[in-house]
Structure 1
Amino acid sequence: MMRYALSLSVLFCAPLFAAPLPPPQSWSLAGEWRAHDANDADFIGWRGSDADWRKLRVPANWYSAGWDHQGALWYRTEFSLPRQTADRLATLEFDGVDYFADVWFNGQNLARHEGYFQRFAVDVTEHLTRYNRLAVRVDSPFEDPQKNWPLRKNLIKGILNQHDARPGGAWSPQGQDANSGGIWSPVRLRLSRSVAIDNVILRPDWSQGLTQPRLRVELVYRAPAAKAATLNLSARPDNFSGESYRLTQPVTLQPTGKETQRISVTLPMPAARLWWPKEYGKPSLYQVQVRLSDENGVLDQRASRTGLRQIVEQANNQGWLINGQRLFIRGTNYIGSPWLSTMNKARYARDFDLVEKMNANAIRVHGHVAGRALYQAADERGLLIWQDVPLQWGYNDTPAFAENAARQTQEMVAQFGNSPSVVVWGGQNEPPFNSPWMGKRFPDWNKDLNRHLMQRVADTLAKDNSRIVHPFSAVEEHYWAGWYFGSLANLLEPAKTATITEFGAQALPRLATLRTFIPRSDLWPATTQPGDPKWTRWKYHNFQPIQTFQNAKISRGETIQTFIANTQRYQAQLVALAAESYRRQRFQPVTALFQFMFVEIWPSVNWGVVDYLRHPKAGYYALQRAYQPLLPSIEPKSLDWKAGKPGQITLWTINDLPAAHPGSWLRWRISQGDRILAQGDKQVDIAPDSGSKVVELPVTPSQSGELRVTATILDGKKRPLARNEMTFDVAN
């Protein structure tokens, strides 16, 4: 029998074979495993030789590891370790398997798990030998378009199996291409003694007020028998120097069988530093360690990181308070990749650097739960997160499916809720009952479809009182004027909701990026008609010709370079107009806005202001200006500018931060070419957390062409603090 994959002479080095390993211990099972097609139900993957099995990297989505596959695969690896003592518990821990996992260990089927993002544990204690074979049948099914896809999906995967920005788009027959299945997150073997701690749930306790923080700690454990133990709990500063906190108390562990038990304690942390978003303070983090011991030493231990922060949603659209300080949310929708194994902490940090430089202070993790490294990176830098459940559009409408979704939602809350950066739990995105447009596409749509599902998920989210809960992302919160309907002028109208979770437009990436996925032969279709066959490849890569040419009326021009420039200019104009309009409506009624979306998640033409190679488009720099915390905002009375016809520009000062700027100056200049139509300045006292109209300027363009408006905020010594500009087209 061939022994490969982990090279356990390295993983479990030779000296360890001489004696039992001291608990607790944990080893990665990463490396080259063997894999075999499992769509043949009669193929038994836990036995037999490796002769016709191929190598496959773990962890990885199978598509990103080089296997474009739909359905099921068998995975297999082997390892050895010395004989264990009678009180030793052995646990296999999977951080994420997409989507169904049947776990076989030494010929025994020990577990079946559903859900792509959760960590789950498998007790292998009774089946552990010196030489061990682990086999996992992983099934990420192709949903049947004739039965359940896409309106009544059965897999809780959100954007990973249906989305506008996936390969093939949302609605085409190719919309499920490039399956995300696989053992995509780490696998470990853990050895402990008498008890196994599966999770540590940490939540701040503000019952004594913000000046007397406490930490609620809940241990989720398994134990084969009752046992007296000592619980040692500590919380020490992780990214700063400060006071540590400790608690020791006796506990009695209850026998669990195949289920889990819980122990809850509260740790007073009276002088603890709070976790703040970047613009308001430091994101102070604590490393929390939980240890269970007896007279012979450590039984098991776990560590997790958290921060203490309070988030409150005020009534009447008066904004969110973090640690008592009001926030205005300048956000963007974010998906790193549809193949989550390709993202790591460094890649998330690279993206978040760009997010911060764009002056956004929040991301909406759109329609999916990401890899754990995303939340770690956000925690460390003080980036706020709106976290969606992975429910996108329509699903199976049975009570059983709703219960399954509620269970997976509870697991999301339990496993990712230690991250202080997550300040909002968001429910289903555009559920069918809230999406009457689906009635035109699906004859079996009805006005109550998924209403029960939405409510079960929302009720589950609401059990966590340490966050804001948004029951579902409604179509009314998706301000798609200028792209799917209406025009740019509609973006200047009063908002109807406090939360705006989507707005934006598509734009082509730079030519060098475009050429990586659109071949030269298809780069210039003969017409702008969507039916032109050369648009087929473009549409597979998410481009929307109807919205581009008919709704937005973007001119293609005479060359591909002109076409790229025109789309980027339109996207930049739209996102800037929208962002500034909704910021001027701060708390009347707008409290939060999220542009759609930040980055293109695969080689595609879509709504990202950054392309998939991480090159910013013009829209990125437009948002960078419009999202400045201190902003001289430019409000046109109308976008219908004509030569010789009077118009008006209104200038505002907007300050999202808690620092005042007394004795400042607002300076402006309005010009056409070399001709100055208006200029001047005015002294202003800019209050913290404020938005104020400063001056209304009548403007009459002298000719057709470009009208340019610049506005600058200067401090009392006339040093620039913030600058903004907009251009408008003037017709004859």
Structure 2
Amino acid sequence: MHRLLRTVLLGLASLAGLVAHATPLINAAGRQALALNGRWHVIVDPYDNGYVNYRLQRFDASAKPNGGYFLDRKPATPAELIEYDFDTSASLNVPGDWNSQDDKLLYYESTVWYRRLFDFTPRSADARQFIHFGGANYEADVYLNGAKLGRHVGGFTPFEFEVTGKLRSAGNSLVVRVNNARRPEAVPTVNTDWWNYGGLTRDVMLLETPATCIRDFVLRLQPGAGRRVRGFVQLDGSAQPVKVEIPELKISVEAAADARGRANFEFELKGAQLWSPEQPRLYAVTLSSGADRLTEKVGFRTIETRGSDILLNGKPIFLRGISLHEENPLRGGRATTPADARQLLGWAQELGCNYVRLAHYPHNEHMARVADEMGILLWAEVPVYWTIHWDNPETYANAENQLTELVTRDRNRASIIIWSMANETPISPARTVFLKKLVAHTRALDPTRLISAAMERHSPPDDPRTSIVEDELAEVTDLVSFNQYIGWYVGMPDDCAQAKWIINYNKPVIISEFGADALQGFHGDRRARFTEEFQADLYRQTLAMLEKIPQLRGMTPWILCDFRSPRRHLPNIQDGWNRKGLIGENGTRKLAFAVLQEYYARKAAEYARP
């Protein structure tokens, strides 16, 4: 009866075109799965011809859709008119963006249809199946065998649809309409300073679970509670006992799930080594309930603030960081694999970093998992960027949903210590209400991490040398983080020596951005813009300036690597790239790399003293 009811509800959801499940299965990569990555046939559809008719009526909203490409039809007779054919269309790699795979699609922003055929045999009669997407930029409409499963909005967070009872043994047709058109009411909105990579940019998997499965879990040390771990396991299915085991620590605890399928846990973490950048200790944690069993690698640590200090496991730490886009500069496309994550985070470690800002959107799940292993602290954020529609309730709901999906996916990652709400948002009453709501929502989801946002500085009209950081949002964040570009967008590097700062908050200060463009290999006078010498001099003078801020406890200069940006047009210098990277698009380090590396070596020695 339970299975029949679930099937009926799934059918009703598909007919209504509902959105994906609000909480995708945690640790999709660790599940029994059929990988659906590889070559997918695609149709580039700039007029959305396969989605709407010439009167802009959606085919998938019709009882007789006929022309929709999601039907994946062939002519029944030579006389039948069908003006598309996936089988003879081009193909692209999944995961991957379409922009870097085909020169004709470099600037393309609209719809591309993806289709994958696959066979499937379930493990057992009562097994459940879910089609899981790691991410699709930006809107995704998903169809299985001609029927709509639902849609997802947001380019960087996971989503899934249950397909139990909908799969054939052979010839399943999975069709996804992906549209990356920028829209004023979207998150992010129409104006950004990064490339709008479209497509199925992360893994696609067909997951299989028992009838009752583990959907979500949280296990974490509580700040101020010693070695006490609290958390829960959320079941999807019938209520039954749940067990949590950490074999290496000889920990085994069991709890009953309540009527909602939630089992709460609390236990002492005896004999454990806490996770830190110096010793990124991870423990195999096994969760089991009935026939479902899931193993995760989890690190345990605390993060908190005391006055202007940041405390990791109770000890002060200076966050030696760098900002990072989810892009492989050597090939100029989205970073999609664990190897990409290791390359980028490895370069950050070479720089002397113990901390990275993942800008300006949720990065691939691989990034946080690799950071857990390598011992790199992370700032993770959502793309509430510049000029969001602050008064639009749908825009807020979109931002909150993306934040929920990010926090739910990554809140068991020891590496993530900061959730960021926004970047460079102009102060207004509506904006502050919007962001304070996000802060409150995030604290409810995860009260154990720090919350911040990349705010801005300003100067009095009659005193350009004085920089003031004053933002009502800073009253509810744990950190005072802000971007500043004295020496690049404001004045010249020599102006750093005369700068004065007014920051009236007894909180840790994090400089979330500073930097200057430099074309790798372009040399000249230190006062000549776009030379490596100019960038290196700006770093020297900026670091000396920032050291005068008494609450300074970290920074993430902008940025580790050059990255593509359609805003950057200067011929023979930018050519569609933001050149603020310390590493060029060819992987070569610029002069400023060594400047920051030397500074971080000094800070590491300073904070290593007893």
Shared fold by TM > 0.5? yes
Which whole-Å deviations, capped at 9, do the CAs of 1:193-249 have from their partners, x for residues lacking one?
21233333333234631xx23242332x432xxx3533222235xxxxx52422234
> 1:576: which partner in 2?
540
**What code does the residue aligned with 2:520 have?**
P
1:494/1:309 CA distance change after superposition, 3 Å: farther
How big is the alpha-carbon RMSD for the aligned residues of Structure 1 and Structure 2? 2.8
Matching residue within 167, 186, 189 for 2:203: 186
> 1:270: which partner in 2?
270
1:528-607 mapped onto 2 (5 Å cutoff): 554-555=527-528, 567-583=531-547, 585=549, 588-602=550-564, 604-607=577-580
1:189/1:143 CA distance change after superposition, 3 Å: closer
Which whole-Å deviations, capped at 9, do the CAs of 1:117-161 have from their partners, x for residues lacking one?
2222211112122224233333334236xxx3xxxxx33248xx7
C-alpha displacement at 1:619, in angstroms?
Answer: 0.6
> 2:94: which partner in 1?
58
1:253/1:292 CA distance change after superposition, 3 Å: farther
The answer to whether structure 1 residue 135 and structure 2 residue 97 are counterparts is: no
1:172-183 mapped onto 2 (5 Å cutoff): 179-183=196-200
1:355/1:471 CA distance change after superposition, 3 Å: closer
**What code does the residue aligned with 1:321 have?**
L
The answer to whether structure 1 residue 288 and structure 2 residue 285 are counterparts is: yes
**What code does the residue aligned with 2:395 have?**
F
Partner Cα distance (2:154, 2:333) in 1: 14
C-alpha displacement at 1:86, in angstroms?
Answer: 4.2
SS at match of 1:126: coil
Which whole-Å deviations, capped at 9, do the CAs of 1:671-694 have from their partners, x for residues lacking one?
xxxxxxxxxxxxxxxxx4xxxxxx
SS at match of 2:532: helix
1:36-55 mapped onto 2 (5 Å cutoff): 36-38=43-45, 39-40=48-49, 41-42=52-53, 43-47=67-71, 48-49=73-74, 50-55=86-91
C-alpha displacement at 1:605, in angstroms?
Answer: 5.0
C-alpha displacement at 1:24, in angstroms?
Answer: 7.3
The answer to whether structure 1 residue 500 and structure 2 residue 508 are counterparts is: no
> 2:9: which partner in 1?
none
Are the aligned partners of 1:201 and 1:415 in contact in 2 as well (CA < 8 Å)? no
> 2:395: which partner in 1?
401
**What code does the residue aligned with 2:606 have?**
D
C-alpha displacement at 1:351, in angstroms?
Answer: 2.5
The answer to whether structure 1 residue 304 and structure 2 residue 306 are counterparts is: no
SS at match of 2:348: helix
The answer to whether structure 1 residue 324 and structure 2 residue 314 are counterparts is: yes
Partner Cα distance (1:35, 1:376) in 2: 31
Matching residue within 200, 203, 207 for 2:217: 200
> 2:361: which partner in 1?
368
The answer to whether structure 1 residue 113 and structure 2 residue 94 are counterparts is: no
Are the aligned partners of 1:99 and 1:138 in contact in 2 as well (CA < 8 Å)? no
SS at match of 2:513: coil
Gaps of 5+ in 1: 1-22, 149-153, 168-178, 237-241, 255-260, 434-446, 515-547, 557-563, 632-654, 660-687, 689-732
Matching residue within 220, 225, 240 for 1:229: 240
Are the aligned partners of 2:284 and 2:295 in contact in 1 as well (CA < 8 Å)? yes
> 2:595: which partner in 1?
622
C-alpha displacement at 1:553, in angstroms?
Answer: 8.9
Partner Cα distance (1:253, 1:65) in 2: 49
**What code does the residue aligned with 1:408 have?**
Q
SS at match of 1:629: helix
SS at match of 2:362: coil
Are the aligned partners of 1:138 and 1:183 in contact in 2 as well (CA < 8 Å)? no
C-alpha displacement at 1:340, in angstroms?
Answer: 6.7
Moved more, 262-271 or 56-65: 262-271
Partner Cα distance (1:70, 1:286) in 2: 43
1:327-726 mapped onto 2 (5 Å cutoff): 327-337=317-327, 341-397=334-390, 398-433=392-427, 447-448=428-429, 450-463=431-444, 464-475=446-457, 476=469, 477-492=482-497, 493-497=499-503, 498-510=509-521, 554-555=527-528, 567-583=531-547, 585=549, 588-602=550-564, 604-629=577-602, 655-659=605-609, 688=610
C-alpha displacement at 1:407, in angstroms?
Answer: 1.9
Partner Cα distance (1:349, 1:313) in 2: 29
Partner Cα distance (1:134, 1:197) in 2: 28
C-alpha displacement at 1:656, in angstroms?
Answer: 2.8
Matching residue within 234, 246, 251 for 1:245: 251
Partner Cα distance (1:420, 1:83) in 2: 35
> 1:4: which partner in 2?
none
Q: Which has the higher strand share?
A: 1
C-alpha displacement at 1:630, in angstroms?
Answer: 5.1
Which whole-Å deviations, capped at 9, do the CAs of 1:506-558 have from their partners, x for residues lacking one?
111126xx9xxxxxxxxxxxxxxxxxxxxxxxxxxxxxxxxx9xxx99347xx
Partner Cα distance (2:583, 2:282) in 1: 30
Partner Cα distance (1:453, 1:138) in 2: 31
Partner Cα distance (1:125, 1:104) in 2: 14
**What code does the residue aligned with 1:60 have?**
G
C-alpha displacement at 1:79, in angstroms?
Answer: 1.8
Are the aligned partners of 1:340 and 1:371 in contact in 2 as well (CA < 8 Å)? no
The answer to whether structure 1 residue 218 and structure 2 residue 233 are counterparts is: yes
C-alpha displacement at 1:412, in angstroms?
Answer: 0.9
C-alpha displacement at 1:415, in angstroms?
Answer: 0.6
C-alpha displacement at 1:490, in angstroms?
Answer: 3.5
Partner Cα distance (1:617, 1:228) in 2: 58
C-alpha displacement at 1:449, in angstroms?
Answer: 5.1
Report the structure number with the largest CA radius of gyration.
1
1:130/1:503 CA distance change after superposition, 3 Å: same
**What code does the residue aligned with 2:38 have?**
G
**What code does the residue aligned with 2:200 have?**
I
Which whole-Å deviations, capped at 9, do the CAs of 1:401-432 have from their partners, x for residues lacking one?
11221122111111112111111111110113
> 2:77: which partner in 1?
none
**What code does the residue aligned with 1:63 have?**
N
Are the aligned partners of 2:137 and 2:180 in contact in 1 as well (CA < 8 Å)? no
1:589/1:207 CA distance change after superposition, 3 Å: closer
Are the aligned partners of 2:360 and 2:383 in contact in 1 as well (CA < 8 Å)? yes
Partner Cα distance (1:111, 1:384) in 2: 35
Are the aligned partners of 2:117 and 2:172 in contact in 1 as well (CA < 8 Å)? yes
**What code does the residue aligned with 2:534 have?**
Y
1:24/1:392 CA distance change after superposition, 3 Å: closer
SS at match of 1:46: helix
Which whole-Å deviations, capped at 9, do the CAs of 1:658-705 have from their partners, x for residues lacking one?
32xxxxxxxxxxxxxxxxxxxxxxxxxxxx4xxxxxxxxxxxxxxxxx
Moved more, 383-392 or 333-342: 333-342
Partner Cα distance (1:412, 1:386) in 2: 12
Are the aligned partners of 1:96 and 1:117 in contact in 2 as well (CA < 8 Å)? yes
Gaps of 5+ in 2: 1-29, 54-66, 75-85, 458-468, 470-481, 504-508, 565-575
Partner Cα distance (1:250, 1:461) in 2: 27
Partner Cα distance (1:132, 1:234) in 2: 40
Are the aligned partners of 2:389 and 2:395 in contact in 1 as well (CA < 8 Å)? yes
Between Structure 1 and Structure 2, how many residues are aligned? 504
Q: Relative CO higher for 1 or 2, CA cutoff 8 Å, sep ≥ 6? A: 2
